[in-house]
Homo-oligomer: A and B are copies of this chain.
Amino acid sequence: MNRQTIETWFKKLQDDICTQIESTDQKGAFEQDLWQRPQGGGGRTRILRNGNIIEKGGVNFSAVEGPTPQKILDALQLDQADFYATGVSIVMHPRSPRVPIIHMNVRYFEMSNGVSWFGGGIDLTPHYVVDEDAHYFHQQLKTTCDQHDPSYYPQFKQWADDYFYIKHRKETRGIGGIFFDRLTETPEISLADRWAFVQDVGSLFAPTYCHLLDKNKDLPFGENEKLWQYLRRGRYVEFNLVLDKGTKFGLDTDGRTESILMSMPPQANWEYNYEVQPGSEEEKTLRLLQKGVNWI
């Protein structure tokens, strides 16, 4: 396991995910933009627009390297070092408010001082929380985590609850999932074990999301549900632009803006002081957007 094998595997993951999403969507096709980073490395941005199920989605691969940007040096308390980072990042905005938004990221980071680690996660943002789907989603994650370490799911589930929290709204972004970062090697766990885990998380994405697409794509909805979807997308924008560390990192370090902001929804709305109707589906969803819910 080295940079080259990780990079090659991530590229293959990107290919596989795009194929499975296209096959489930039955209309949308990913278009690819190749880009180079002036300071070193580059990426393959793949965007699907106007599919049957997916309105706008991105499945991005990148592998970048060079002198570490000052902001990261400061965060890591290092004077100077080169870095290398590779990963796959996904955000999918479906057309129907009955189909959840999803985000996935798997990444590998290496510093020239010899430290290296994995990070990543998958989290789900339903416009309407459906208990059965939430249970299924978290069970899938737990099963994969448990195959590696029984402490992974509880630990990374809580990490997701804490990370995907919109403080100024006192709401979680969605029903969470798993989130992990800085998984280095330890006396008990080798970097190869970490890598095997990250590969399983990556491979879990497409079958899990495609199941949710298939299950919900034909459910009916009306104007009221569309408006709610646009408002929830507004919250997604707020999280990504105000709080998401990956977005901040990308914009701060002169990343490729269009690849970073592929996570933005095609349309988002804001209504001043919008209040959900007591007893409505929207109210039920809002009540569930809190930390610490046991979905299993």
A267 within 8 A of B: yes
Contacts of A238 in B (CB 8 A): 241, 261
**Quick check: is A37 within 8 A (CB to CB) of the other chain?**
no
Which of B58, B169, B271 has a CB less than 8 Å from the CB of A257? B169
Taking a contact as CB atoms under 8 Å apart, the answer to whether B241 and A33 are in contact is no
In the complex, the answer to whether A265 meets B270 with C-beta atoms within 8 Å is yes
Q: Does A234 contact B (CB under 8 A)?
A: yes
The residue that A33 contacts in the complex, of B169, B257, B273, with Cβ under 8 A, is B273
Which residues of B have CB within 8 Å of A167?
251
Stoichiometry (number of copies): 2
Q: Are A267 and B266 in contact (CB under 8 A)?
A: no
> What bracket does the count of chain A residues touching chain B fall in?
20 to 34
Q: Mark A262-275, 1 if CB is under 8 A from B, else 0.
A: 10111111111100
The contact string, 1 if C-beta is below 8 Å from chain B, for chain A 243-285, is 0000000010010011011101111111111000000000000
Cβ contacts A113-133/B at 8 Å (1 or 0 each): 000000000000000000000
Closest chain B residue to A230, Cβ basis: B267
The residue on B at minimum CB distance from A58 is B272
In-complex Cβ contact of A168 among B251, B265, B269 (8 A): B251
Residue from A260, A262, A268 having most chain B Cβ neighbours under 10 A: A268
Taking the closest CB of chain B, its distance from the CB of A169, in whole angstroms, is 6
Complex partner residue of A272 from B168, B230, B258, CB under 8 angstroms: B258
A residues contacting B by CB (< 8 A) are 33, 47, 49, 56, 58, 167-169, 230, 234, 237-238, 241-242, 251, 254, 257-258, 260-262, 264-273
User: What are 13 A-B pairs with beta-carbon distances under 8 A?
Assistant: A33-B273, A47-B273, A56-B272, A58-B272, A230-B267, A234-B264, A238-B241, A238-B261, A241-B241, A241-B242, A258-B272, A267-B269, A268-B268
